[in-house]
Each structure stands twice: as C-alpha cells, then as structure tokens.
A and B are shown apart, each in its own frame.
Chain A
Amino acid sequence: AENEPSWETPCTELLVYVSSPDCDGFPSLDSKESYNLSVSKGSMLLSAETVWGALRGLETFSQLVGRDENGTYYINETVIVDFPRFPHRGLLLDTSRHYLPLKAILETLDVMAYNKFNVFHWHIVDDPSFPYESSTFPELSKKGAFNAMTHVYTANDVRTVIEYARLRGIRVVAEFDTPGHTLSWGPGAPGLLTPCYMGKAPSGAYGPINPILNSTYQFVASLFQEVSTVFPDFFLHLGGDEVDFTCWKSNPEIRAFMMEMGLGEDYKKLESFYIQRLLDIISSLGKGYIVWQEVFDNDVKLRPDTIIHVWKENARQYLNEMANVTRAGYQALLSAPWYLNRISYGQDWIEAYKVEPLNFKGSPEQKALVMGGEACMWGEYVDVTNLTPRLW
C-alpha cells in the first residue's frame, strides 16, 4: 500500500501498551512480569499486563538495538514472548560488615535492572555495625553504627532506596536478623542481649537476644512496628540463622527458665520459643516473613506461607534441603550455590550458571513451591571499593 512505510524509514516509536498499570503501586511476589515485544516493518510494540512487565520489556528492547559500522542504529524484525521462570530473583547486600554509601546501593539497583533482578534483599544490620537510623530507637545507630554521623542510613536514604528500586520494578526486602547476629544492637538497647557468664559472674561479653525477658518482646514489637511501616513490601526477612547457644547456656537465669518451661537441655526449643513469638508479632503487623533455613531445620512452628531461605552449602546437600522444605509444604528460596562473596580464580560464573534449582526429587507441586533464589554478596571482604566488579 502506498502508505506503508519503507523499510528504510527510521522507526520512530516504540509503543508501550500496559493493560493494568498500577504505576504508583509497589511490585510484589505475585506481580506479573510477562511482556510481548514485536518489531516489524512500520511498527514496534511492547505490550504487558503490568508496568513491571513493561520495564522488563524495555530492558530487552534496549538490548536489541544495534549500531552498524557507520554508526546507524538498527533493530531486527523480532517477536519476543517473555516471562520469568521464577518470580523471586534477588540479590543480597550486606551493609553491616562494611557500610555501603547510598550511591553504591543505587548503582547496584541499576545493574540489577539490567539483569532483570526484582528483589533487593537488604541485610542491613548484623554483629559489626547497626547503620539503620531508627526513629523509635535512635540509640541503636547512635551507639551501634561504625560512625553515627557518617556510616548510617537516614530515613531519607531508606526512602530513596525503596523508591529508586520501585521505579525499576525491584522489591526491597529488609532483613533484621535475630536472635543471633545482633551484637551491634547491644550498646543502643541495654538489656536486650543475653549477658554471658563465666562461672557465677557475668563475663562482660554478650550473646544473642535474651529470649526470656518480656522487655525483649516489647522492644522487638516496637522496632518491627516501625520497620513494617518503613518498608512497604509484604515480606520481611527475619533472619534466624547461626544462633550460638553457648552464651544462653552460660546464663543462670536462662538455665532456670529452661527448667521452668520444661525445655530440658534442648536450646533449639528456646530458639523456637523466641522465633514463634517473633513470628506472631510480625503476623499481627500484617507482614509475611522469610527466614533462613535453620528456623525450619530446628523445628520451629511456622505459618504455612513462610518462605524458607536455603543457604547452607555442603557438597550439594542443599538440594536435599530444598526437597525437605518443599515436601513440608513451605515455599523455598535458593542461595546456597550462589554465595558470590566466595570468590575463586577463573570463570566462576560458569558454576553459578550451571545450577539447576529444581534438580531434586519431588512432585511437581513441591517444585512449584520454589519461588526462586538470591545471589548473596556478604560483606566481610567487600565495600564500595570492590563491590561492583566482584558482583558483576
């Protein structure tokens, strides 16, 4: 037809069609990220159900555009139908072992978008430092940050991260890991951590959160009340990993409590006691939760919609754990083979690539419980000087 644009006519528009936009909403685990892309003579169309799908499609489109030797931009006739295999595709950053300036986090979010990651798992506090500025408990960062003036995330910083992520279709799942990994909480919250004992007297050292005091649960409830408001995602990561029982065992009040409650010598039951109360608090705040695998391994009573985060890597044993978790009916996230902080010489991306998350014995229903996974960049040896080249 005479109105048909010639093939040499430069394409001028990529039309983006979104059926149920929700531009001002937040992405969630259930968000649809599928999109269709069609590039043909005379028209380029990107269609998606949601804005999240449109974002994914824009990224793909930008990857299709080429440039020839003369510098002319071109794009091939293309038809793409795309959707993610797994809905939870995350990246963990650790801002406690080393503080990461805001710029570094935002840069990471950019690169995550280039790679269609959609969850930023912010392991924001831990033993070494507490950079999160809490409005309810300002002493936590005042006394717990590496430097309370400079090595902190203000409320504004946190808002900036959440919005920057949202604009890229990335959820921000914050992790406030308890009851272990909490040494930095101690200075700003006296009485929160368990005092360790050497014989009859306190040694001066502290251990995990003290699970036997009411004040603990008041504190935790208040803190998570704030955290639930600050972080809009439905899920919070509650940690629960690597709880060292030595300090609890040394404390006479805790030993007395164990006897009173008939828990015997099984400190896993005490951990369970704490975690269950924590989960109740979180649920009452209307949030869902993700926990590290120990919480499941130690037989804590969990709600059916708990997500278990599988991280222990021991000669491919993680696949067994995935099978166990899903067989018990819980959703699972895989990180074990993707600890990117464990560097090695050569093209180690190949090992990460070869992982097949569903390579375990289980029914299709079980396998459908695998929500996805997360690449983890723990911060013991990582800060802004080497984060980007180590991660990408």
Chain B
Amino acid sequence: SSPTMGRAMGLAGLLLGLVVVPAVLVSTSLRHGAPRTEAEAEPSGWELAAGAVPEDSLWPLPQRVSTYPRQLQLAPSRFQLVHGAGSSAGPGCGLLQDAFRRYYEYMFGHSWRRTRGRRPLAARAEPELLQLQVVIEARDPGCDRHPHLTSSEAYHLTVTEPVAILKASEVWGALRGLETFSQLVHEDDYGSFLVNESEINDFPRFAHRGVLLDTSRHYLPLKSILTNLDAMAFNKFNVLHWHIVDDQSFPYQSISFPELSDKGAYSSNLIYSPTDVHLVIEYARLRGIRVIPEFDTPGHTQSWGKGQKDLLTPCYKGGRPTGSFGPVNPVWNTTYDFMTVFFKEISSVFPDEFIHLGGDEVDFSCWKTNPEVKEFMKKQGFGTDYAKLESYYIQHILDIVSSYNKGQMVWQEVFDHKAQLKPDTVVQVWMANNYAHELSSVTGAGFTAVLSAPWYLDYISYGQDWKKYYSVEPLNFPGSEKQKKLLIGGEACLWGEFVDATNLTPRLWPRASAVAERLWSSSNVTNLEDAYKRLANHRCRMLRRGIAAEPVFVGYCAHEAR
C-alpha cells in the first residue's frame, strides 16, 4: 500500500502552525530500517495536514478540552501574560513573573515581530487576543513555597476575546496552564500567531510524576540537569528523583563530610557544590518540580567508603580482611552516628518533605564473611536470615530521617524483606517481573506506591518503543478502590551506566513523554495513532525550545536542531 505523496509535497505551512506535521510516509518496504508492520501503521503526513485540529498539538492531553473553530490573533508586540484582577498573586510573585517571561519566549521567541513593526500588510479579520490573565484563587498562592505531593495542579483555561483567563488554585496549576496555553498558540502560513477559542479544564490523574536521573554512574554537568528540568516542565513532570550517589562515584559535596566527595567523586571538578544543588532545587521549584534526593544505602555505597573510613563492612576470607568492602556496616554504632549527622544535613539542604533512602539490591555475601556481623546476627537472634539484618539497619535509618520530619521513599526490597516501615513511607516498585502483583502487595499492606518497573528508559531497543511505555496502565493490578488510590504515580528511570551528557537528552526525550501523558491524562487516552500525531508535533516543539529530543519516526520539523 503506497500512500499518495503527490501534490502536497513541499507544503510546509499548515494550519497547525508553529509545528509542522512531519511527513510520515509509508514506503513500499522499510526492511532496511523499520520492520514492515510498523511502517504500515503510520498515517501519512499529508493527509493529516488538511484535517489538522488544534488538539493535535497538546501533550499531555488535558482532561477536558473543547476547541472552537473561531480563531483569535496574537500580536507579539502587544500580547501580554498578566496577573488578573482578584488574583492572590501579583507582581511580587517571582515564580509567576519568571514564568510569564519564559512562556512569552516559548511562544514568540523565534519571531522577529516582537518589536513594533510595520502595520500588517494584509490584516486578518480575526479579533485580537490581547492578554492571558492569570488568576490564583487560593489565599496563599504558594509563590515562595516549594511544591509538594498534595499541591493543587489543576487549572481552568478559557480562551476567548478579548482576554483569555487562566484560573488555578495555586501557582502550580498556573504553571501547568501556561504550558498548555503555549501549546495552543500556532502560526499560519503567513506567520501570524493564532489561537482557537477554547475551554480547558485540567488536572493530573496522578500526583507523583517523576524522572530519575543517575549522576553517579556518569557525572551530569549542571547544564544538562537544568535543560532536563525544562524538558520535564514541557511534559508536566513534577518530580526530579535525583539518584545522586552510588557505587561508582560520590559527586555530592557534603558540608559535614567533605571527604566523601573529595575522595569519592570521579575527580575534583566532577562534583555538585552546595551552590549547584541550590540552583537545581530553585530552577526546579520555578517549574513546579520537586527534587527528591536519593542517598541509597546500605548497598550501592562503594564510593562512600573512599571518604569515610569505617563505614562499609570489611569483607573477610580465611579469617582475615581481604581489603574489599561490602554494604554499609549495620553493626557499628559509628555507622548510625555518621548517618545521623549526614541525614541532618540532607534534610536541611533539600526542602522536599521526602528523602529517598534506597535500600535496593543489598548483597549479603560480604556481611556473611564478617565475624562481627556474624556475632551480631547471633546476638539478635536473626539466625541466618540476613534480610532481617538489612531491615534492622533500614529501620534505624528510617527513624533517623523521621526525626528530621522527613518522609521516606524506598525501593521495593525494603518492603519485600519486611522492614517495619512508617505508615507514610512510599514504596517504589521497580522489578519488572510481575510488578502488578507487587503493586497489589504494597498497596494491600496499606502503603503508598510509585511505579517504575515498566518505565526503565535506559533499556533502549530498536523502533518506536514509546508505544510500549504509553500502553502501560498503572492501575491494572488486582486490588480494591482504596488500594488503587495508594498508587500515587510513577517515575521514568534513566539509569546512567550508558548515559552521560553526550546522549542523555535524545535518549530520554521524547520517550519519557509517553510516561508523562500516561501519568497526567485520563485512563481512556490510549489511542496510539492519535498519540503519534501529537507526540510528533510535541517533539518538534521541544526541538524549537532547545531540547534535542530524538525523532519519533521518519519525517522532519520546520525548525530542526542545530
């Protein structure tokens, strides 16, 4: 089946505007690249052009969208994003002021018509949209606060002449609404900015929508992290799970224990200073993104031992230390003294109410060789069940962190090995094998869960794998209504074994966008053909905004990456 390529060839300008629908062509056979079946599923780019509708550009798809045929014009030199009358936020709200400027840039940035220029040669008949007024309704808009799990991200957007109104309870909803509004504005063939009259009522399906970055397997320069936060905001992600240290390197510069990064970072320039960390947290905050740091223990801690003597367990062979080390030593008091001071610092540096404590993949073999550990096991009556020792350790850490009024997130093993968790501990389910069953267990035991298992984006494969991430239905597990409410969201994970600044952005985007929509949009938004259309447009838009997102499939964007 060969598509009609004919006349529409070369037609770049489309009603859809800013974003040019990529020319997706079904070739007679794509065995030189994509398998045949894949090719046939795609719609032809040319047929799309004629019937393009404003919603073709929205990602993630809002809960309720109504667009009307009537269009309004925007003049870059006159259009403004302003605080509306009755808003609890005003010019003093730095977060919104910043957002106004940012979104103006995104909408008109590439346009040279921002200064007052000649009168339009052929003025369009459409009425002009002069403003988008933002009205924050809660008494405390949240301008100077940090977003948290229960923040309201809902918004109501009405686009009609002469002004559009964006209402939200808190600034976080306004940020989401600004992103959506910027996705509605498009250009016509002549470069005029247009927006269709619309009414949108939106809110996220899940409250925890995260991306995990790993800065231990490879150091990620600050710029890389900040660019990623921008991309996250374009996709309405609201959590950066910063897996900041691990076995391979310890880039976090601790004030209490400077030796940790002095000795544990890959090199002295590959670190995150306190200023760097503050910058990330504030940059994220301005985009409504929480930063949850993960200091993973007792496993995954080899790099900690370089700068902190007597923290890790010395492994033994034939009655003598071998010189290598295992997980954090759970039997020494000094371990807990260290952790008490360390987590005090972490609790004050990171404002989010949650800290991720890790607890995954603890290898017991070293513990089993250590005489002191073995002695301790006997004393405690743990027998040969080292999972009990792991739980003993973790519970101690959970207590420490609780005492600093922080909630805890842990990997699923902590729950699986039956540690005593606090009632509000969040369990992150990551093991791919039968994860639905794990979700049932975790929520069945009354704990909140975050899903990552099907969304390990570091596991790359050939072809349009975004479809498989998109097709996950997080609530597809056996459980009551009450249980399902305990699944608060998910995280796309980009582990760093094979990732650094050279390939992070194209590897993460737009694949993570599939997860973004799954976590924000309604459960019945599942049509892959429609998603493809919108995702391709969204990808071109991300390119325009400086995110080197990789292609979804064959085609092109009007504004290519440089």
0/1 per residue, A94-107, Cβ < 8 Å to B? Answer: 10011101010000
Bits for A371-392, please: 1 = Cβ < 8 Å to B, else 0: 0000000111111111011100
Select the stretch in A73-81, A155-163, A182-190, A218-226 that faces chain B.
Answer: A182-190
- How far in angstroms is the closest Cβ of chain B from A385? 4
Chain A residues whose CB sits within 8 angstroms of the CB of B315 once the complex forms: none
Task: Check A128 against B462 for contact (C-beta < 8 Å).
Answer: no
Residue A330, interface by CB 8 Å: no
Does A208 contact B32, Cβ atoms closer than 8 Å? no
Residues in A neighbouring B558, C-beta threshold 8 A:
147, 150
A254 to chain B, nearest CB (A): 15
Q: How far, in whole Å, are A343 and B9 apart by their CA atoms in the complex?
A: 31
Residues of A close to B33: CB separation below 8 A: 94, 97, 341, 378-381
A377 and chain B: residue at smallest CB distance: B33
Q: How many whole Å from A244's CB to the nearest CB in chain B? A: 4
The 0/1 profile, CB within 8 Å of A marked 1, for residues 7-30 of chain B is 101101000000000010101111
CB-contact partner of B6 in A94, A99, A187, A379, under 8 A: A187
By a CB distance below 8 angstroms, the chain B residues around A147 are 10, 12, 556, 558
Stretch with Cβ within 8 A of A (4 or more), from B91-99, B149-157, B339-347, B543-551: B543-551
A142's closest neighbor in chain B, by CB?
Answer: B10
- Band of interface residues on B: 35 or more
Residues of A within 8 A of B543 (CB): 385
A379 to B33, CA, bound (A): 8
Q: Is the CB of A383 within 8 A of B551?
A: yes
Q: Is the CB of A382 within 8 A of B32?
A: no
Alpha-carbon gap, A144 to B10, bound state (A): 7
Q: Give Cα A151 to B503, complex, Å.
A: 24
Whether B556 pairs with A98 at a CB distance below 8 angstroms is yes
Interface residues as binary, B458-477 with A (CB distance below 8 Å gives 1, 0 otherwise): 11111110000000000000
Which residues of chain A have C-beta atoms less than 8 A from B88's C-beta? none
- Write out, one digit per residue, whether chain A residues 113-143 have a CB within 8 A of any chain B CB (1) or not (0): 0000000000000111100000000000011
CB contacts (< 8 Å) of A109 on chain B: these are none
Chain B residue at minimal CB-CB distance from A145:
B10
Chief secondary structure at chain A's binding surface: loop
Q: Is B505 an interface residue (CB 8 A)?
A: yes
Cα distance A346–B497 when bound, in Å? 8
Q: Which residues of A contact B458 (CB under 8 A)?
A: 345
Q: Are B503 and A99 in contact (CB under 8 A)?
A: no
User: In the complex, what's the smallest C-beta–C-beta distance from A132 to chain B, in angstroms?
Assistant: 15
Partner of A128, one of B27, B503, B561: B27
Q: Mark B518-562, 1 if CB is under 8 A from A, else 0.
A: 000000000000000000000000010000111101111010111
The listed residue (A148, A206, A389) touching B506 by CB distance below 8 A is A389
Question: Does B307 belong to the interface (CB within 8 Å)?
Answer: no
Complex Cα distance A136/B468, Å?
Answer: 46
Which chain A residue has the least Cβ–Cβ distance from B509?
Answer: A385
Known: A143-B9, A343-B460, A345-B459. A183 touches B550 (CB 8 A): no
Do the beta carbons of A208 and B9 come within 8 Å of each other? no
Which residue of chain B lies nearest to A103 when distances are taken between CB atoms in the complex? B562
Are A205 and B2 CB-contacts (below 8 A) given A384-B560, A389-B502? Answer: yes
Residue ID in chain A nearest B461 by CB atoms: A344
B503-A386 in contact (CB<8A) = yes
In the docked arrangement, what's the CA distance between A145 and B25, Å?
Answer: 13
Residue B444, interface by CB 8 Å: no
Partner of B2, one of A99, A183, A242, A343: A183
Q: Is the CB of A181 within 8 A of B461?
A: no
In whole angstroms, how far apart are the Cα atoms of A98 and B543 in the complex? Answer: 14
Please state if B2 and A196 are interface contacts (CB–CB under 8 Å). yes
A101 to chain B: which residues have CB within 8 Å? 560, 562
Q: In the complex, are the beta carbons of B505 and A385 less than 8 A apart?
A: yes
- Which residues from B are CB-within-8-Å of A303? none
Q: How far is the CA of A129 from the CA of B506 in the complex (A)?
A: 23
Question: Is there an interface contact between B28 and A99, defined as CB atoms closer than 8 Å?
Answer: no
- Check if A382 sits within 8 Å of B551, measured CB to CB: yes
Is there an interface contact between A128 and B23, defined as CB atoms closer than 8 Å?
Answer: yes
* CB <8 Å contact, B2 and A206: yes
Residues of chain A contacted by B548 (CB below 8 angstroms)? 385-386
Q: A129–B551 contact, CB under 8 A?
A: no
From A144, A382, A385, residue with most partner B Cβ within 10 Å? A385
State the Cβ distance, A251 to closest chain B Cβ, in Å. Answer: 12
> Which residues of chain B have C-beta atoms less than 8 A from A99's C-beta?
556, 560
Give bound CA distance, A385 to B511, whole Å.
14
A196 to B560, CA, bound (A): 34
A111 vs chain B, min Cβ distance (A): 12
Cross-chain contact B4 with A205 (CB below 8 angstroms): yes
Residues of A within 8 A of B53 (CB): none
B34 touches A383 (CB 8 A): no
User: Which of chain A's residues have a CB closer than 8 A to the CB of B479?
Assistant: none
B507 to chain A, nearest CB (A): 8
Residues of chain B within 8 A (CB-CB) of A246 are 28
B31–A343 contact, CB under 8 A?
A: no
| B234 nearest CB across to chain A (Å) | 15
The 8 Å CB contact of A242, one of B7, B28, B506, is B28
Partner of B550, one of A144, A148, A150, A383: A383
Tell yes or no: A361 within 8 A of B by CB: no
Residue B498, interface by CB 8 Å: yes
Asked whether B85 is an interface residue with its Cβ less than 8 Å from the other chain, the reply is no
Q: For A183, A246, A344, A378, which residue has the most chain B Cβ atoms within 10 angstroms?
A: A183
- Tell me if A146 counts as interface (CB < 8 A to partner B): yes
B500 to chain A, nearest CB (A): 9
Q: Cβ of A207 < 8 Å from any Cβ of B?
A: yes
A103 to B561, CA, bound (A): 11
CB atoms of A180 and B560 under 8 A apart: no
Q: Which residues of A are in contact with B by a Cβ distance under 8 Å?
A: 94, 97-99, 101, 103, 126-129, 142-148, 150-151, 180-181, 183-184, 186-187, 196, 204-208, 241-242, 244, 246-247, 311, 341-347, 378-386, 388-390
The 6 closest A-B pairs by CB, nearest first: A127-B27, A389-B503, A386-B506, A380-B33, A146-B556, A205-B2
Identify 28 residue pairs between A and B in the complex whose beta-carbon atoms are under 8 Å apart, listed by A's number.
Answer: A97-B554, A98-B554, A101-B562, A103-B562, A142-B10, A146-B556, A147-B556, A148-B10, A150-B560, A151-B560, A183-B5, A187-B7, A204-B4, A206-B5, A207-B28, A380-B34, A381-B33, A381-B550, A382-B550, A383-B560, A385-B548, A385-B549, A386-B506, A386-B550, A388-B502, A389-B502, A389-B503, A389-B506
Known A205-B3, A242-B32, A389-B507; 7 more pairs at CB < 8 Å:
A94-B33, A146-B23, A183-B3, A311-B32, A344-B462, A386-B507, A388-B502
